[in-house]
Amino acid sequence: MKRTIVLFLSIMLAGIAVFGFAACDKLQTFEGITLTSQTFFYDGNAKSIYADNIPDGATVSYDGNGQSAPGVYEVQATVTAEGYKTLILKATLTVAGTMQWLKTEYEEDLLAAARKINEGSPYTGEYECVILGKADTLANLANYSFSEEYDKNAVCGGLFVRYDAKETESSENILYTAYYNYAIEFDRDMKKITVSTAFNGDTWELSPIPGNNKILFQYDNLPA
């Protein structure tokens, strides 16, 4: 009688173990959850990206969020829920310094615009898109007119196209260097200020791009 009971219990336990492994194989898979790469302008504040379409009852943990310094970072989101397989998503979080971002984004357009300005010039020239610091930016802004007085102490820098004009017959002698401004960066709220300058009789106006605590000005009407 005892042997029969022991054998019966062994069969029951084996059945439970098999059932348990079968249940693990039937975990559900998350559907529709996404983690999208994003780019933010640098403003000194921490930046983060978050997963979308998280279902009720699910928990998400993040690694790599909360970045404030300019750079490119990998963010990992781990999604868990009872009865579901763990989901791991990865994306890129970019904190872009404003001037560097504009240079990367618009360099070819700006170089083309500068070449357009100098069409028909008796000189040859080399063009380069450059980011200038405070002192050089202020020196170049002497050629610009502003709608109202601005605080020179608030200027951070500028994005320019540098043009080195040379004699047509010689590529050695630089006659002059011109800087065509594209954007000026301020570290204070100056949204009401507009600035304009003229090249070859055409006036280019700059308008503000709102930011959190920095204001960037860009041209509205670059030469076609």
Please give the order of strands across the beta sheet that includes 38-41: 38-41, 87-96, 71-80, 59-63
What confidence score (pLDDT) does residue 198 get? 54
Mean pLDDT of the chain: 76
Reference 105, options 187, 197, 183, 47; nearest CA is 183
Question: Tokens standing for 162?
Answer: 């540098």
Q: Cβ-count burial of 185 within 10 angstroms (0-12 exposed, 13-18 middle, 19+ buried)?
A: buried
For each of the domains in the chain, give its residue range(s) and CATH number, in order of start. 27-96 (2.60.40.10), 98-219 (no CATH)
Which range scores top for mean pLDDT: 39-48, 57-66, 114-123? 57-66
What percentage of the chain carries pLDDT values higher than 90?
A: 25
> Sign (positive/negative) of CA torsion 126, 132, 136, 142?
positive
Structural element, H or E, at residue 163: strand 155-166
The pTM is what? 0.53
* CB within 8 Å of 171: residues ≥ 6 apart: 124
pLDDT digits (tens, 9 = 90+) for 163-210: 888 877 666 678 888 887 777 877 765 555 556 555 555 566 666 655
Taking every pair of Cα atoms in the chain, the longest distance, rounded to a whole number of angstroms, is: 115
Residues 12 and 20: their CA atoms lie apart, in Å, by 12
Give the DSSP H/E element, type plus range, for residue 127.
strand 124-132
Structure confidence by residue, pLDDT tens digits, 103-145: 887 788 888 878 877 777 778 888 999 988 889 888 888 777 7
